[in-house]
């Protein structure tokens, strides 16, 4: 089956959230069912953790009371650099106490802690050699992006034996759910994916709302990301995304071609009022959608605008 083109990070977010929540969109289902029985849930995305030697931001933290285990996940499509080596060493020092303090896990959920590193298949040998030579406890998985939805355990074992049984053979899907996380790079707000998401949400908002109705920044961001995904983000990441979305909405509002659709009416918190009349909505929405997409395309090449994030 031909894969839908999504980013490396987005595919992994959807896979791991989907493994925890379950989804009939996974094909086949056997590995999903086995994983779900272990009781893992996603407890945070982009979680900052202060450790001995500095700070790390875990791409994801999962935990299970049922098996008394926490999974701290780092994924990267980059080759092994000195910076990455330093990052791996910092992950080694993460303790259950750190996860209770910064990811708000319970004592039961942190009886054991695994550090999971997911890399592109082509970089596996370098990462494995470094992890082996430095006797790091990290479980190393290869992800076959962009060709397949396939995860293979390459080195080290999980503390929980049932996880080892699941990953003893490759975890591979013909199809995965794609609705759990938006396709934006959470580590880099200055990229066009976020502008596209803002434009798409603005179009949907204009279709849902009528003239005179008010929306605020927090509401807009939560609807754009989905409330379920928004709740998984750390407070730092929520603020960072909101700041970037606010800047994009301000830039849209400055454009004369969009001043007929909404206006800013407050700053604390930022609020806007819809000006587009219901009678004009269906007639104008197609042209507005096209103009907003043109704006997104233009912004993608404006480094001065993107640097504001």
pTM: 0.86
Q: Is residue 110 part of a domain?
A: yes
Q: What is the pLDDT of residue 126?
A: 97
Q: Are residues 196 and 169 in the same domain?
A: no
| Residue pLDDT, tens place only, 7-54 | 899 999 999 999 999 888 888 889 999 999 999 999 999 999 999 878
Q: Are residues 154 and 18 in the same domain?
A: yes
Does residue 155 belong to any structural domain of this protein? yes
pLDDT confidence tier of residue 271, bands split at 50, 70 and 90:
very high
Q: Which of 173, 207, 228 is the last residue of a domain?
A: 173
Q: Confirm whether 243 is domain-assigned.
A: yes
- Domain annotation covers residue 52: yes
- Which structure tokens are listed for 38? 């272990």
Clarify whether residues 20 and 132 are in a common domain.
yes
User: What separation in angstroms does the CA of 51 have from each of 85, 93, 237, 251?
Assistant: 15, 7, 19, 38
272 and 299 together in one domain = yes
Residue 151 lies in a domain: yes
Query: Which position has the token pair 């959920």?
Result: 109
The two structure tokens encoding residue 162: 């049932």
**Predicted pLDDT at 2:** 47
122 close to 77: Cβ distance less than 8 angstroms: no
Who wins on pLDDT, 62 or 193? Answer: 62
* Residue range of the domain that includes 200: 192-306
Looking at the fold, whether 161 and 236 belong to one and the same domain comes out as no
Residue 22 forms part of a structural domain: yes
pLDDT of residue 185: 82
User: What's the residue count for the chain?
Assistant: 309
Domain boundary pick from 109, 141, 173: 173
What pLDDT score was predicted for residue 28?
Answer: 85
**116 and 150 housed in the same domain:** yes
pLDDT bracket for residue 218 (50, 70, 90): very high
Residue 1 has pLDDT above 70, yes or no: no
Based on the fold, state whether residues 266 and 159 are members of the same structural domain.
no
Give residue 6's pLDDT: 80
Tally of domains in the chain: 2
65 and 136 inside one domain: yes
Same domain, 250 and 197: yes
Contacts of 208 (CB under 8 A, 6+ apart): none
Q: What CATH number does residue 230 fall under? A: 1.10.10
Mean pLDDT confidence for 181-205: 84
Residue range 223-249, pLDDT digits in tens: 999 989 999 999 999 999 999 999 999
- Residue 178 falls within a domain, yes or no? no
CA 233/CA 241 separation, integer angstroms: 10
Q: Region 131-143: what's the mean pLDDT?
A: 95
164 with 204, same domain?
no
pLDDT in tens, 200-211: 999 999 888 888
Same domain, 148 and 200: no
Q: What is the DSSP string of the chain?
A: -PPP---HHHHHHHHHHHHHH--TTSBS-HHHHHHHTTT-EEEEEEEEEEETTEEEEEEEEEEETTTTEEEEEEEE-S---HHHHHHHHHHHT--HHHHHHHS---TGGGSEEEEEEEEEGGGHHHHHHHHHHTT--PEEEEE-TTT-EEEEEEE---SSHHHHHHHSS-EEESB----SS-SS-TT-SSSHHHHHHHHHHHHHHHHH--TT-EEEHHHHHHHHH-HHHHHHB-HHHHHHHHHHHHHHHHHHHHSGGGTTTEEEEEETTEEEEE---HHHHHHHHHHHHHHHHHHHHHHTT-HHHHTT-
Same domain, 156 and 28: yes
Q: Which of 81, 86, 43 is nearest to 62 (CA)?
A: 43
User: Can you give the pLDDT at residue 287?
Assistant: 87
Q: Is the pLDDT reported for residue 3 higher than 60?
A: no
Asked if residue 15 is part of any domain, the answer here is: yes
**What's the average model confidence in pLDDT over 117-138?**
96
Q: What is the mean pLDDT of the chain?
A: 90
**pLDDT digit string (tens) for 65-118?**
999 999 999 999 999 999 999 999 999 999 999 999 999 999 999 999 999 999
pLDDT beyond 70 at 188? yes
């Amino acid at each position: 089956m031909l894969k839908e083109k999504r980013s490396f990070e987005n595919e992994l977010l959807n896979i791991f959230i989907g493994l925890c929540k379950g989804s009939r969109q996974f094909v086949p289902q056997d590995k999903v069912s086995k994983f779900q029985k272990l009781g893992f849930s996603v407890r945070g995305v982009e979680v900052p953790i202060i450790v001995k030697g500095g700070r790390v931001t875990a791409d994801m933290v999962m935990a299970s009371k049922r098996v008394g285990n926490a999974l701290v996940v780092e994924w990267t499509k980059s080759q092994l650099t000195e910076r990455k080596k330093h990052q791996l060493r910092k992950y080694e020092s993460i303790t259950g106490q750190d996860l209770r303090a910064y990811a708000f896990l319970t004592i039961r959920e942190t009886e054991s802690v695994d550090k999971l590193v997911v890399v592109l298949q082509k970089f596996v040998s370098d990462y494995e050699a470094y992890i082996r030579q430095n006797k790091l406890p990290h479980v190393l998985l290869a992800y076959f992006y962009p060709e397949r939805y396939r995860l293979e355990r390459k080195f080290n074992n999980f503390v929980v034996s049932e996880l080892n049984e699941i990953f003893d053979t490759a975890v591979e899907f013909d199809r995965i759910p794609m609705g759990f996380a938006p396709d934006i790079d959470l580590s880099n707000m200055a990229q066009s994916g976020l502008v596209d998401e803002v434009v798409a949400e603005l179009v949907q908002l204009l279709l849902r709302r009528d003239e005179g109705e008010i929306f605020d920044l927090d509401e807009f961001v939560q609807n754009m990301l989905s409330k379920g995904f928004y709740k998984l983000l750390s407070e730092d990441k929520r603020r960072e995304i909101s700041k970037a979305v606010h800047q994009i909405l301000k830039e849209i509002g400055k454009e004369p071609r969009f001043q007929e659709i909404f206006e800013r009416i407050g700053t604390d918190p930022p609020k806007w009022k819809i000006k587009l009349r219901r009678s004009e909505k269906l007639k104008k929405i197609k042209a507005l959608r096209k103009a907003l997409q043109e704006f997104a395309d233009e912004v993608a090449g404006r480094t001065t605008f993107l640097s504001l994030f």
